[in-house]
Amino acid sequence: MPVTVPSVKGIPWRYCSYWDEEPAAKLGISLLRLGICRPEDWTGSAVDFVERGFRRFCKQNRIDVVRRVWDGELLLMDQIFDMTYRERQEARADAAEPNQTLFLVGRFNSAASVPLGSTLSILAQQDPMLPAAFYAGIRHCLWKWMCVYDYCSAFNDAKDAMLAMEESELKDSVYPQVATAVPPWLRNRLKMNPSRALRLLREIEPNLTGKLPQKLVGHVLDMFRLSEGYAPAWPHRLIRQYPEIEALLEECDGIGAGCLLNWYEDDPVSACFDEQATYLGQNGPPEPTHLRIIHLSQSHSDSDKQVRGLFDYIGALLRSLASAAELIEIIRSIDDEHIREHRLQSALPVEPSSAGIREE
């Protein structure tokens, strides 16, 4: 007996209930007024309507370049954390009406490694102060958008860990190596003020020789320009204004770094980072890196102002990280070239690597 499979067209792939559609519809109306969404984005679903406008906006602001370096998510949600079907149904049962608040939630799934040692060596040939200004600049600009694990983080973690270790353990530990592994061009200059770094970069840039140093410094100056006027959207900053967020954040276990500023791959800074990352999220989900709130129960003008401010922030975030991604790709290519030039000959014996942090 023949079997016929019907071809059904025009059926949405995703079903959204009234509870999901109402807040999306309110946001979508505002996005339409602001020109972020377009009439042709409408397919019958308010959630799809917002998603199409949001995706296009992110693409226009170079999210494809950002993704070449960073693995993360930037989401518009009605809750801070993902919920199972059962949890969502229970939350709806306790609510009198659909959620009138939406969240912009940003988080990184891993930290992008930035091995700076070889790059700093090249910059030191241009000006003795340039490595410190470059390091302070990239660190400052990245901190606007993410948690950065760097030498200072590793030094503090190593210092705390060594307090609980015996002298015999320290001998075979990587922790004491953190302080001694700082490149010579940064010693006594690791805490340079970002304002001074920006001033030095601007003063040194016209005198740079060679396209590579010019590109490196140019990208950092772009990052300063693109992030100017924006503050980090750390979740804890909203607690005073929205106390209910505190209870949600209490369920979190740490915050994941979006970037690892190390000197070389597998150096002491990297070892300390690996140690800390091992324990992240064991007792709960990591805290979001970005958290912004949209209130939907406002007048049209107030709603549009709030949404415009949010999307200005998203655009600045993506454009700045796109410039940073291009910079990091250059830094990684410099490090790769350094590794190729200094690769050990196969006939020579290989020295053992540094001992592990500690045996558990």
Segment 140-165, tens digit of pLDDT: 999 999 999 999 999 999 999 898 88
Angle 24-27-30 from CA coordinates, rounded to 5°: 150
- pTM for the structure as a whole: 0.85
Whole-angstrom distance, CA of residue 134 vs CA of residue 125: 13
* CA-based nearest residue to 251, from 199, 286, 289, 290: 286
| Regions of the chain short of the pLDDT cut 70 | 1-20, 81-98, 343-360
pLDDT at 8: 52
| Four-residue CA torsion sign, 91, 95, 98, 99 | negative
pLDDT at site 146 = 95
Q: Helices 130-143 and 300-341 meet at what angle, rounded to 10?
A: 140
Cβ atoms of 99 and 19 closer than 8 Å: yes
Query: Which pLDDT score is estimated for 4?
Result: 64
Fill in the amino acid letter for 153.
Answer: S
- Burial pattern 195-213, b for ≥16 Cβ within 10 A else e, equals eebbebbeebbeebeeebb
The amino acid at residue 105 is V
